[in-house]
Amino acid sequence: MKDKFFKYIEKLQDSITSKLELIDGAATFQEDIWKRPEGGGGRTRVIENGAVFEKGGVNISGVHGKLPASMQAYFKVGDVDFFACGLSLVLHPKNPMAPTVHANWRYFEMYNEQGDVIDQWFGGGQDLTPYYLFEDDAIHFHQTCKNACDKHNPDFYPAYKKRCDDYFHNSHRNEARGIGGLFFDYCKATENMSMEQWYAFVSEVGDSFLEAYVPILEKRIHLPYTSEERNWQEIRRGRYVEFNLVHDKGTLFGLKTNGRIESILMSLPPHVQWVYDHHPEPNSREEQLIRVLKTPVEWVS
């Protein structure tokens, strides 16, 4: 399974970066192949200062070795070996009318002293972080997520949509990071779902990413915007940074397993603001976004 999934994310990285380069039209992805001393490595691809993307990364990695003591405590296991692979992406468009997007699809195994697999699971999801709310964008993104889920189980979308709302939440701000999408983790074999079936589901979601995001991006990247709207984008990017550094489990796992810092923190936007005690104007489009971030919305039924 680990070989099958790693080959899948290699191909997915190629298809996503190729499409995004066509959309940008000016910048291309810089590729960085790296090795992890303890075992494994990855292929980082970053695009910066383009016509569309101010910064973006589409990274894959496959790492293995002894599970560090800090993560043994987290997973409540003893001295075990592990393998983890996944694709992680974050895209920050320049235009504040175009949303930031994040996605991640991953696979994990743990082994005993004899090298036997003692645990394995999939995880991942995709979520949208707009700076200005366009309801048709939110509906399109969530409908695409639901369509991918419904091909495998009609219960998946409502369950994983709620998990996304719960997970991507800046509890210290009492607001969501964005308008959600899907989040699933610890997807293990059961009598109802084999690992092959979980692979089919996760790859279905991964294959849906471009369909979910590209139409939104292409509608918004040429819209006019003001310097005030750009300032709002940078203030909201600050909330994005706060989540990734304070709450995100993927960031924690990467840092605690001696991951590559540049790849782990590629999600951070280049231009961001923290304005003291900032509040949007009453009844403005900015306040409209905040109201939605305070209470999750059911975008599709």
How is residue 5 written in tokens?
């999934």
Any residues with CB less than 8 A from the CB of 43 and at least 6 apart, and which?
A: 10, 13, 31, 32, 33, 34, 59, 60, 61
Determine which one of 92, 102, 140, 169 is catalytic: 102
* Catalytic site includes residue 102: yes
Any residues with CB less than 8 A from the CB of 114 and at least 6 apart, and which?
A: none
How is residue 122 written in tokens?
């999939």
Question: Contact 43/33 with Cβ under 8 angstroms?
Answer: yes
Q: What is the DSSP letter of 94?
A: S
How is residue 11 written in tokens?
């191909």
First to last CA, the chain: 34
How many angstroms separate the CA atoms of 153 and 35, rounded? 38
Catalytic residue positions? 102
